[in-house]
Amino acid sequence: MNITTKEIEGISVVALSGRIVLGEESTALREKVKSLLDAGKKRIVLDMSNVTYIDSTGLGILVAAHVSAKKQGAALHLSNLGNKFHDVLQITRLLTVFSVFDTEAEAIKSFATSSIGTLA
């Protein structure tokens, strides 16, 4: 899995590419989110547009990242899920757990309207 990070208007946008599965891929995602939170980043968007597959471990990593972010007063939003991944989140009822947006731009804009959006 390839992970790239960019900052847009003080929001950390993490673009994921490849598979989020048991092993180094899921570990890399966990470490990336942890490092952003440790650096004081409170607004994080995970761009899922190039994720080709996610297994139960990958879903667990996303849930753990979401919980960690919340505990630290941060927010983690998902964007560009694609139909398959959207369906997986719907079936597992995780769609109600995450803030999900169709595009990266919508996910970024959402921080302006949420209470966490005012945090720097």
- Cut 0.85: pTM above it: yes
Q: What is the pLDDT of residues 39-79, one digit of tens each?
A: 999 999 999 999 999 999 999 999 999 999 999 999 999 99
Percent of the chain with pLDDT over 70: 94
Domains of the chain (ranges; CATH) run 2-111 (3.30.750.24)
Residues 1-26: what's their mean pLDDT? Answer: 95
Q: What is the pLDDT of residue 114?
A: 61
pLDDT for the residue 62: 96
Residues 6 or more apart whose Cβ sits within 8 Å of residue 116: 42, 43, 73, 74, 75
